[in-house]
Amino acid sequence: MKSDIELDQIALRILRLLQEDATISVVELADRVGASSASCWRRIKAMEAAGYFKKTVRLVDPARLGRSVNVLCNVRMKSHDPTVRLPFETYVQRQPEIVEVFSMSGDWDYLLRVVAEDVQGYNAFLMQKLLTHPSVAAASSHFALEMVKYSTAIPVVTSIPK
């Protein structure tokens, strides 16, 4: 259920703080934004109902799980027909190595972020999974040397456009 709600400065501060730490208690959050706990809880619930929050997760350090290789992979499709694209999109959703997928404009149709243990692991994924999909015409891989910035937080400006 989505509805329009008015986001005042307190609501915007709540959005910023919950993006930094979703485990913060409502009491601490209320103290930091200058509102009562009950008011803060109602605002959170209203923003949830309005669709401002997706889901709450804990971010895992990929290196601790042996997945420190990041590859940005451009994919070109054989066809742009929906009967080709939709099965591919379903396929990439099911591949755990693929952590982000963007449909793109320009020379390439998709941009995938793939995490792997090492170059050999990525090569196996590329050759045995991605390039064997019937709708994939080509792929181009770019290995990240270092992650300079990583953030899941969306900038919250002083007012939200309607």
Say which CATH topology domain 62-143 has: Alpha-Beta Plaits (3.30.70)
Distance CA 108, CA 94 (A): 21
Q: What is the pLDDT, as a whole number, of residue 110?
A: 98
Per residue in 94-107, pLDDT (tens digit) is: 999 999 999 999 99
* Ranges in the chain annotated CATH 3.30.70.920: 62-143
Total residues belonging to the chain: 162
Long-range CB contacts for residues 22-28, cutoff 8 Å, separation at least 24:
22/56, 22/57
In Å, how far are 39, 44, 45, 126 from 27, measured between CA atoms? 10, 13, 15, 48
* Ranges in the chain annotated CATH 1.10.10.10: 1-59
Q: What is the pLDDT, as a whole number, of residue 138?
A: 98
Q: What is the pLDDT, as a whole number, of residue 10?
A: 95
Q: What is the pLDDT, as a whole number, of residue 125?
A: 98
Q: Is 30 exposed, middle or buried (0-12, 13-18, 19+ CB in 10 A)?
A: buried
pTM for this one? Answer: 0.86
Q: What is the pLDDT, as a whole number, of residue 159?
A: 63
Task: Tell me the backbone φ, ψ of residue 100, rounded to 5 degrees.
Answer: -150, 145
Sheet with 69-77, side-by-side order of all strands: 98-103, 110-116, 69-77, 136-143
| Tokens 């997760």 -> residue | 57
Distance CA 33, CA 58 (A): 23
Residue 70 in contact with residue 142, Cβ under 8 Å? no
Domain 1-59, CATH among 1.10.3720.10, 1.10.10.10, 3.40.720.10, 3.30.70.260: 1.10.10.10
Extract the residue ranges of the chain whose pLDDT is less than 50: 1
Q: What is the pLDDT, as a whole number, of residue 160?
A: 62
Residue 72 in contact with residue 126, Cβ under 8 Å? no
